[in-house]
Structures are given as structure tokens and as C-alpha cells.
Structure 1
Amino acid sequence: MTRAIMLRRLLATLVTTLVLTPPGVIAEADSGPGPIAAPRPENRSAARDTWTGTWEGAPSGTAPALPGASIRNVVHTSVGGRAARVRLSNRLGTAPLQLGSVTLALQLPGVPSGPGAVPGSVRTVTFGGARSLTLPAGRDVVSDPVALTVPADADLLVSVHTPADSGPATFHRSALQANFVAPGGDRTADESGAAYTRTIGNWYYVTGVDVLRRSPAGSVVALGDSITDGTGSSFSANHRWPDRLADRLRALPADRRPGVLNAGISGNRVLREGRGPSALTRLDTDVLSRAGVRTVIVLEGINDIKGSPEVTDPLDLENAYRLLVRRAHARGLRVIGATITPYGGHSAYTPAREAVRLAVNDAIRTRRIFDAVADFDATVRDPGRPNRILPAYDPGDHLHFNDTGMRALADTIDLTALVPTGAALRP
């Protein structure tokens, strides 16, 4: 081995080590221009290229590994940029994760869309210059910048090859999106989707995509449970309420449009570990450490109220919300609190739990917990039976929302609370 090759490998190893994170904390790649997650307010107005989150899938648990397979994750962008970087996770794994290769591409449009890539769009994703990576258990990583122009409102393919059984795979359980698996061999560089013969409804390993753009608008993170995760909305349609919010924000000029990140996890709670780490536990990794965050929208609490053990004192949730807000304010972020939506008719409904929900909502509206309030409850409740969702919004389980209901939630958000001063909506 020549001295030059040895030096290149040593440098690649060193840079990869720098972008690996301590347990539970996401590192930002130190290559490429611009500030990283949650810059201080005084730095936010500069007209320069910055990294902004365009998509997120928060880790919610683990699934059996797929050794030898290639997994093609389909993710939907909210804003575009002139380059991208990919976030991968072994946060919930128990053994080092071997990543043989990772690629990023534009998905070939179709009805329905499949695993094929737009010709010429497949890009190799590297980590400190290396194409492969071993990611320790409990760690996340951010890739090097990828030279790919990423459109807004587009579908990307993040393909990951795992050559060996690395133990439980960190994944997002309820993707509500068709993703694809090629059972044998490294097919990450394939433009054709022919090798991807299996369809799954989960996102494996990928937890975010950032784009490089010239905009001070940053990003908005929706922190929530199954309602934010999209349960009840159409499969592979991007009709979750954060997606619908991103649709509304496209009325803004591109340089004033924030990215929208969905940190919803089905079954999630504010106070206790449920499906995925609690909101208090995962605030740093799923919200505060994301690129360019300006605003957080919090819609959580129903699983604390109806779960087991259940919250019986509304003050417990109020205090937890205040802690979330203090931690976000310490990073210069704005926090919008959403009222908890009705669930009368659901099997977990009881009058005692309903009294807690109403008391929590009263606190959200009147006790100045948050910087602003999105009154989801008032938007979606049935005026004749206010403990229930309007039938037009109910997919049938009396808890979640269909596509029409998801749009109604998104329409409740005051856009002026999400964008920098002077970013007026077009007529």
C-alpha cells in the first residue's frame, strides 16, 4: 500500500469518527457551508446557504435485520435545495451496524410509484469520504454533502445495503409509505427497480434528509403521536397533517418557505416510554438537533390520558409541556401548542379521562404555556357531540383522522407564526 493511499484512508477514518455521535445525540457533518441545527436568532437573517431539514422519520423501535438485502426507502421532501445529506441511525440497535453502501436518488414518477430511480440521478452517499461505515449501537450519523439538486414536493430514494446481520434494526414502524427490499446483494446503485421485489411499510435506518438552500426560513418540526404520524390517512399519498401544512406553505416564495419535519410516532407519550421514547426523552434527538429548526408544534398527550398507567392529574401534562417549552426556548425556538382532539366513541374513552382532556386543553388555551396555540380540538369536534370528532373527519376509529380531517388540522395552523418577519403570503 502506498503512503498516499494510507494517508487518504487515515483521513477518511478520522472524519468518519468526527461525524459519529455520542449516544442519543445527532451530529451535524462538519463539511459544507452554513450553520447547523438551531442557530441563534441573531444568525438567522443572513442570506447565505444553510442546511435545512426537508424530511424526517423519527425512530420508533426495532425490527429484525435484513442481512444481505438492499432497502430502498421512499421519502417525501417539503423544500428543495442544491445539495443534500442523509441521516442514518443505529440509535435503538444493540450491535454495530454495518452499512455496505448507501445511495440517494430521485424516485421515478409513476402511478403507483415504484422502486425505480430517475435515470442519472443515483448518487453515492459517503461518510468522511468512505462509501461504507460501521455505526456503533446507540449512535446516529450525518452523511457528507451529496451533489444532487433536490426539488421541493418530490420523492427521494434512500437505498441502504446491509451486508451482515447487525442485530435489531432501528426503524420507523408506521411509514404509511410503500418502501422496497431487494433480498440479495448490493442493489443500491440500480436505476431499475426490478431487483426490489418485496414491499414493506416501514423506513429502515434513515431518519432524515437535509438540503442546502439559500433561505433564512429554516424548518418546522411537528412533535406528536399517531395523529401526527398520519394514522387514518391514505397510504403512499403524503396526506398526514404535516404534509398538508407543507402544501399550504408552498404558497410562500421559495426563499421564505420553511421545511416541515414530521417527528410523529404512533403510540408516543409525553411523560412515559410507550411506542418509542417519550417526547421528553427524544426532544433533543428528534427536534432540537435537526437542521435549521425555528419552530416546534406539539400535539401530544392523548396517549398519556388514555394509556396505562394513565395521567389523572392535568397538572402533570401542563408541567411536562412547560419543560418542553423551556428546553426549546433555551435553543431560541418558538413553540406552538395544539389542543388535544376528541376521542369519544373510542374503546379507551371514559368520562373521567375526558375531564382530564378538557382540563389540559383549557390550560393550553388560557395558561400561556406556549408561544401560540393551534386549537385543533375546536376545529375538528362535532358541535352536537363535542367529545367526538366530526363524522366527515373520522376514518372509523373515532380517534384518528382521514385525509379530509388531516387537511382541517393543517388549515388550523397560523402560517404567520411559522415564517420570518416580512414573509407575506402571495395573494
Structure 2
Amino acid sequence: MTRVIKARHLFTALVTVLALVPPAASADAGSTPLTGHGHGHDNDQARWTGTWESAPSGTAPALPGASIRNVVHTSVGGSAARVRVSNRLGTAPLQLDAVTVALQEWGRPMSPNAAPGSLRVATFAGRRSVTVPVGQDMVSDPVDLPIPADANLLISVHTPADSGPATYHRSAFQANFLAREGDRTADEPGTAYTVTLDNWYYVTGVDVLGAPAAGSVVALGDSLTDGTGSTSSANRRWPDLLAARLRALPAHRRLGVLNAGISGNRLLLGSGGPSALTRLDADALSRAGVRAVIVLEGINDIKGTPEQKDPLAIEDAYRRIVERAHARGIRVVGATITPYGGYSAYTESREAVRLTVNAFIRNADLFDAVVDFDAVVRDPADPHRILPAYDPGDHLHFNDTGMQALADNIDLDTLLL
């Protein structure tokens, strides 16, 4: 197993993140709006740990009158849950008149059925309905349901009216479900959910209470992190596989894993969802219990249209990410950009930019640690390409074996101080 990790000095100080909660709000109410810019850390954050995340990548047409059953996979468990719903990219207030949480029936990852007796109603400031302002997220009250680690949850929402474009995550790589008419959120049998969706609608996170963990780690990335190339509905993205490794650790070293990957995402431009710099607070730094962020971003800046020809611009983006994370006492692990020789957008000039950026990641002493994904997956016989055993066929993304190689080569000791 090849590992290339570089540890950096410890922070000189940790900055306490203050909660932006109105004075009259209870710390446990969970219904405080969170803005799309990441403000709104909860002052009881130490009690809550992020177990799952979906980063908003764009909008889709609203589905008024429909019920959507989102299937999400936990990384760590807890004694209760709270759900984050989002209107971050919408243009009108979002009305949800019912939100429920349930365990998916065991052993059937492509089923809309809830495990008997597990379905719970999620409330917002004690109410079953919620209106989410434009550009904001809302967090539910605690839902009294024990949440297992490494399990699928069903987060069902009903939209009674057309609230305009729906904030969603485009590429879920997970079967989700739609019931075309009526509020079916409280249905345990999923027979009304006759349509399969490839996206997550409105739901952007799940936190758990009292997790046997030290916090969470965020994987900030593009399609390589989002899961392109891995087996759908099987949770074989590299952050999922990293979560499996972390679950084997003692509780004081264990972390929840939050996947903030968006297919097509870039560091600098808003292509494939908001840029990494734009969404950093909302998708990474403000999530519950975050201790570290792993950054695997940059290939779309290099190969996209317009392409970023200046490595210094990409390097500056990394500096800004690290500065903002360190200001909140959060560690940053930099990942080198993986090869893409043979992909349609590959050129020698773009490859030169990738190699220059990778040299910066390895040698600039910017990050708290470095994981050299490039060295892990490249073909020794042709270093501009990934190993055939890791290639799903497009010469850019990774199959399940490649995803496992990425997860296996992260030094877990670098994720905590």
C-alpha cells in the first residue's frame, strides 16, 4: 500500500465559532434558519455530529403536490437525529408541510419501504410545516429515533404547492423515490412511491445526537468525490469507504464523514454548482462537529471551459480555503489531483498545469497534511493515466476498486489534532 502523507505544524490558536441564534431561540429547537453562506453554527454543536451530507448542486423544476423519499446513508450513529432542508438556490419561499424520518427496511437499499415502527415526524419549532426562506437552510427539531451507523434512512418531504425551482443534488448515485400525488410521507409501505429518482431533493444533511465520535470530516470535491464511476445504491464512494475505516477506530478517534462532492465542481468558477470557494462555509465549515476538511478539487478548473491556465490562481484558491478553515480551528488535508490521460479533454498543456499544482500541494507546506492520490492511482507505466484496474472506462473517474484505493491511503491520524 502506497501512502504519501506530510504533516504540518499544529495551529497556534483555535477560534471559537459563535452561534448566530436569536436570543429567544432554544439551543435544541433546531429550527434556526441557516444562511446559504454557512452562518448559523449551533451553540450546542458539541452535542451534534454530522453523519451525512448532500451539497446543493443546482435546481430542478418543482414537484408540487408530490412526496419525495430521499434515501441517505449514515456514517456514525446517535440517539436522535435532526434534518437539514434547503432552499439555498431557490427563488421563492419553500413550503414543506410534512417531513418524516425512518429507517429503510433492512437489506433492501433500493426499497422505498420503511422499517416497521421506525417512522417519525420531524418538526420545526414544534410545527409539522416549515417555510424555508430563499437562500437559506433550516434545521429540524431533534427527532426521537435511535440512528444506527452504516444504515440507510428515508427522509420524506411533501411540497403542497409550487415553490419555484427546487434546490437539489443532481447526481446522488442512489435510488430515491417519488409519489406523484398526495402527502405520503407517513407511509411505512412505499407502494405509493412508483417513480425512481436519481437526485436528492431539498435535504442537505443529517446530524446525530450523542454520537460515539470526536466530530466529523468533510470531503470537499467534484465528481471524483461525488461518486461517478462507483456502483449506484451501494455506498462505494471513497468518502463512504473512508467512513468504514473510521468506524473501526475507538470513539475518541472516530469521525462522521460528510460528502460535499458535486459533479463538475470547480474551485474558482460556478460550474457544476456553486464554486468550492463560494460554498465552503455552507457545505464544509459550518457543518456540525467538523474537525477536518479533505480537499480534492481542481481538475475541472484545469480541463473545463474556460480552462484555468495559470497554476497560481488554483494555488491561491487553496490558500484561501486553508485560511478560512484555520480561522475556525479546522484542519485541512490537501489531496493531489489525479491523472486523466486518455480522457477527451486531456492536453499536454493542461497536464503541465496539473503537475505544477500537484508539486505545490506536496511541497508548499500549506496544508496540515497531504494525501497523494495522484501517486496512489497513477499507472507506473504511463503516469499521465490512472491504473486500468481503477478505471471505469472514461480514464477520469474511479470504479469501486479505485475508490477503495483512495480511501485506504488516507492517514487517519492526520484528521485530528
Q: What TM-score results when the alignment is normalised by the length of structure 1?
A: 0.89
Alpha-carbon distance in 2 for matches of 1:217, 1:23: 26
Q: Secondary structure at the match of 1:256?
A: coil
Q: 1:24 aligns with which of 4, 28, 37?
A: 37
Partner of 2:356: 359
The percentage of counterpart residues that share the same residue type is: 72
Q: 1:206 aligns with which of 203, 207, 213?
A: 203
Alpha-carbon distance in 1 for matches of 2:238, 2:35: 32
| Structure-2 change in CA distance of 1:98 and 1:26 (3 Å) | farther
| Structure-2 change in CA distance of 1:212 and 1:74 (3 Å) | same
| Structure-2 change in CA distance of 1:273 and 1:289 (3 Å) | same
- The letter of the residue matching 2:52 is W
Q: Secondary structure at the match of 2:34?
A: coil
- The letter of the residue matching 1:62 is T
Partner of 1:277: 274
Alpha-carbon distance in 2 for matches of 1:118, 1:162: 23
1:42-191 mapped onto 2 (5 Å cutoff): 50-191=47-188
CA offset at residue 22 of structure 1?
3.9
Alpha-carbon distance in 1 for matches of 2:389, 2:138: 42
Q: 1:35 aligns with which of 37, 45, 48?
A: 45
Q: What TM-score results when the alignment is normalised by the length of structure 2?
A: 0.91
| Structure-2 change in CA distance of 1:255 and 1:119 (3 Å) | farther
1:194-273 mapped onto 2 (5 Å cutoff): 194-213=191-210, 215=212, 217-273=214-270
Q: 1:392 aligns with which of 377, 389, 393?
A: 389
Contact 2:76 2:211 in 1 (8 A): no
CA offset at residue 23 of structure 1?
4.6
CA offset at residue 118 of structure 1?
0.7
- The letter of the residue matching 2:67 is S
- The letter of the residue matching 1:64 is P
Q: Which moved more, 1:320-329 or 1:308-317?
A: 308-317
Q: Secondary structure at the match of 1:245?
A: helix
- Unaligned 5+ runs, structure 2: 1-23
| Structure-2 change in CA distance of 1:58 and 1:116 (3 Å) | same
Contact 1:27 1:141 in 2 (8 A): no
Alpha-carbon distance in 2 for matches of 1:292, 1:149: 19
Q: Secondary structure at the match of 2:102?
A: strand
Alpha-carbon distance in 2 for matches of 1:18, 1:85: 10
Partner of 1:371: 368
- Unaligned 5+ runs, structure 1: 1-10, 37-49, 421-427
- The letter of the residue matching 2:353 is V
Contact 1:335 1:370 in 2 (8 A): yes
Q: Secondary structure at the match of 1:236?
A: coil
Contact 2:77 2:212 in 1 (8 A): no
Q: Secondary structure at the match of 1:160?
A: strand
Partner of 2:398: 401
- The letter of the residue matching 1:372 is A
Alpha-carbon distance in 1 for matches of 2:156, 2:309: 45
- The letter of the residue matching 2:105 is L
| Structure-2 change in CA distance of 1:378 and 1:265 (3 Å) | same
Q: Secondary structure at the match of 2:124?
A: coil
| Structure-2 change in CA distance of 1:25 and 1:373 (3 Å) | closer
CA offset at residue 24 of structure 1?
3.0
| Structure-2 change in CA distance of 1:214 and 1:161 (3 Å) | closer
Contact 1:29 1:142 in 2 (8 A): no
- Number of equivalent positions: 393
Partner of 1:350: 347
Partner of 1:40: none
Q: Secondary structure at the match of 1:176?
A: coil
Alpha-carbon distance in 2 for matches of 1:28, 1:337: 24
- The letter of the residue matching 1:19 is T
Contact 1:69 1:186 in 2 (8 A): yes
Q: Secondary structure at the match of 2:167?
A: strand
Contact 2:76 2:149 in 1 (8 A): yes
